[in-house]
Structure formats: C-alpha cells, structure tokens
A and B are shown apart, each in its own frame.
Chain A
Amino acid sequence: MAKAKVTFLDIGVTVSVPVGTRVIEISEKVGAGLIYGCREGDCGTCLMKVEDGWNNLTEPSVVEEKVLRENMAGKHCRLACQAQVLGDIVVRPA
C-alpha cells in the first residue's frame, strides 16, 4: 500500500500513513491541535492550514468549498475531516 508522510507542525510530529487516510484520523491519534466538531464537513471547526504539499490532498468537494468560503478560510486552508492524504503534507491548525 502506498504511504505518505503527514507532519503536524504544532506538535512537531511526522506520521507515516496509508494514502487515502483523512487528516483528522491521524491528528486525533497523535494528539495534534486540530480540534473538531461534526466530522462531517459542516461545522468548519477542524480548519487547518496546509503549509506544504497543498496538491497532495484530495480535491475539496462543493460542500467543503462552501464551508471554507463561509468560514472565510485563508489560502491553502482545508477541513481536516474531509481532506484525504495523497502524498507528503505539512499542516498546522488554522
């Protein structure tokens, strides 16, 4: 199975994971500071800033795009509960 590295800058932890894993699942296990609410892409609580590897995540859905817009998310921000890892990324809570 293909692997990718996810680095959480806030806790200085890099995790090797199978491609396709949602960021929130990894964050929760290693105790990074990505807090979450609904885990369904609706509340916007798990907003994260992708510091590196922006293109190594699945494309945001129409619903995620809407939530990002409503939360006035900055450039290169995604919802950790929606974005699935395709390659190496570096993230921190937004």
Chain B
Amino acid sequence: MTRSAYAAAQPDAVALSERVHWIGALDPTLRTFDIILKTANGTSYNAYLVRGSDGVAVIDTVKEAFAGEFFTRLESVADYSEIRYIVLNHLEPDHTGALPELMRRAPQAHLYISVRAQAMLKALLKHDQYEYTAVNTGDSISLGDRTLSFLNTPYLHWPDTQCTWLEEEQTLFSGDVFGCHYCDARLFNDRVGDFRFSFEYYYAHIMRPFREYVFKALALIEPLALKTIAPSHGPILRDQPAQYPAHYRRLATPALSSEIGGEKSLLIFYISSYGNTARMAEAIYGSASEVEGVRASLYDLEGGEIAPFVDLIEEADGIMFGTPTINGDAVKPVWDLLSSLAVVHTRGKIAAAFGSFGWSGEAVRMVEDRLKGLKMEVPVAGLRIKLIPSDEELDACRGFGTAIGRALIGEDEQTVVDMA
C-alpha cells in the first residue's frame, strides 16, 4: 500500500485506551533509515496524546514531511488550545520534525525534555525562543487525574533519550527503546505481521553499542507493572509487554563470560600473503597464551566472516591485528573488520597491531590510529618486521605477545621518559 493510501485508510487517531491515542504517521515506502538501516516494509513515527481531567499532553511528534498526517490525527481527538504539555522523549528529527509547527499552533504548551536534551534543542531546531523544563528520573507533571513521570535513559540511543510513564494507565512511552522499523497500520503487536526480525535488527544496530546503558534503563523499567509499551517506532506492545524488556536483557547479556570465567580474553586476528605475518601471529599467540590469566585465540581473517568476529570482539578484553602492507595500506579484510565495530562497545579494550612488510610498512601505524580512534588503549607500539622474520625477530614477537598479555592483566611495565 502506498503512503497516501495508508493515510487515507486511517486518517483518525487510534485509541490505546479512552484517554490515550496514537497520533503518529506511517511511512510504508521508506527503504533506508538514517543511511545505515534497511527498512523492508518502511517504518512508523509514533506520537501519542494523553488526556487528563486538567488538560492534554502530546508525547513526541513526527518527521517533518509527515506533519500533515500527525495534525489531522491530533485534531480528531483534541483542540490545540487544550494542549498544556509537550513531552519530547528524544530530539532526533524523525520525532521533532513537526514540533515547530505544533508550537505555532499551540503556543501555550510547555515543553518537557530530558536534562541532556537541553544542548541539543537549540542546535536541532535552530530556535532559541522555546521555553522548556528539563526533567530527570523522579520528576512528574500532572494532568489532573493522569500523571506523567520521567525515566532518564541516556544513550538509548542518544544522550538525550528518556521514557515517560503514565502510571494510571500503566503505559510506558518508551521513545526509541523497544522500537523497531516495521510499518503496519494494524499498529498493535497482537495484530501486526511478524516483526521479530525487525525488533532484533533494530536492537543490534541502535542499542547494542550502549549495552551498559541498556542495563541501567532496564533497572528502571523492569519494576514497572507494564500494561502497554508505546515506542516511537513500530508496533505498540500491549500483548505480553514485559517480554520485551526481558528480551532486551537477553540480547544485552554477554554470552561468553561464563566460558572464559575470570580470564582475560585476547583475540589475535591476522591475514598473511606469504606466511610472514602469520609466523609473527603464531609467535605472539604462543607467548601471550603463556601469560597466566590470559586466554588467547588466533584467527586467520581469510577464513572468517565479519559478523561473528564482531560478536567476539564485543566480548573480548584485548584485540590484536596482524596485517601486511600492500601498496602503502593495510589490506581490505582488516579494514572490513575495523570498519564494522561501530555497533559494539570498544572503548578501553587493550589493542595492538603488527605485520610484515616488503617496502614501507605503513599498515601497522594506520591500524594503530584506527584502534585509538575507536578509543581502545594501545599500550605497546606496533611491531613491524621487514619480510621474513628472523629468529631474533620472532623473539621480538614473543616479547610483544607477552607485553600485551601483561597489559591485559594490569602488569604492564612502566616507562619513564625525560623530555625536560
């Protein structure tokens, strides 16, 4: 169904309850979201309207191009003069695109945003006239017989993100948390098509890099007696809503920790043209394995796929890359893996690079720069060896492996330099 047909088929707001309505918009023809996400059947921009005995609140808006649908649906259940509060759970343009026009139509409405959204508000909306109140976990606003309270859930998936809890309806307006790009006019999870893939795909690309924050948010959300989760994209989760926080917890829980136990996991990835970088890798692997408390693993990138390696790196404490230099650069399989790490948390991991080269050997420094750019710690300068490693050079490799292993267990050597 085309976008206009969707809108025409269902022009009015949709009731979640007598007091809560969906006033969002459907975007069934979108095939790529934010450059990086595929959307096989489009997405939705969910916005909601809550009516209390003492006024109306609008929670989030829609992408600017969909403002017409949003306003039509809003007008089907409320008058602009009734709107007292506008709550923004997340300031990304797909949820704030219609805000300037909404503020023009309801100038009396007061904005509520998270503490961390303040710096973004002006930058995103290019408007410094809006008055707002910054709220945090525990703050609430009253609509008479309905109360909205706020849960600060930073980095899910922007610094500004928050959830809004409607106690009397046991409804959580969760922003992008528990959302997915799945467009279905039937709206509710007990009526739409099979969206499981979209839910997990969205988590993997949007929430996964912020795993530690997922756990913090779940600690706030799981105690709630959830009757409905109303996210800002995808189906409204009214059937067994508690299974979605539970699924987030499963997705965020490290799978490997139980096997590795208390040891530090070191992954050594390499690729080799003539076996020289491979010999370096094996020497490094051998000595790193001998450091007590380190569990080392060796992988030839030529024989692997990117995705499982990304999964391994997410759980690892240390990562090493061995690459030859070809035409002044590291080779493509190394860059393919290094450019796929934006979806996992890499900050603070111990990392290092090494490799054999024929002429100039730039690859090791390039890889080191990338590792530092990913906020990993590179405690030992990379090891470069010209062509075939000699016995002495293989000894240097073994020393390199030991040094990285010792850095992993916190026993790296301290160096003193005099530049005074």
Chain A positions near chain B (C-beta within 8 angstroms): 1, 3, 10-18, 21, 26, 29-31, 33, 35, 69-70, 72, 92-93
Contacts and interface: CB of A to CB of B under 8 A. Distances in A.
A72 B377 contact: no
Contact of A72 (B119, B416, B418): B119
Contact of A93 (B159, B375, B414): B375
B119 A70 contact: yes
A16 B372 contact: no
B419 A10 contact: no
Interface in B82-121: 116, 119
Nearest to A19: B420
B119 A10 contact: no
A31 B414 CA distance: 14
Nearest to A92: B377
Interface residues of B, number: 23
A35 B372 contact: yes
A14 B378 contact: no
B139 interface: no
Interface in B365-390: 369, 372-373, 375-381
B373 A10 contact: no
A93 B378 CA distance: 11
6 contacts: A1-B420, A11-B415, A14-B416, A16-B419, A17-B420, A69-B119
B9 interface: no
Contacts of A31: 378, 381
Interface in B178-234: none
Contact of B414 (A12, A30, A92): A12
A87 to B, nearest CB: 13
B5 interface: no
A12 B420 contact: no
The winner among B375, B376, B380 for most chain A CB atoms within 10 A is: B375
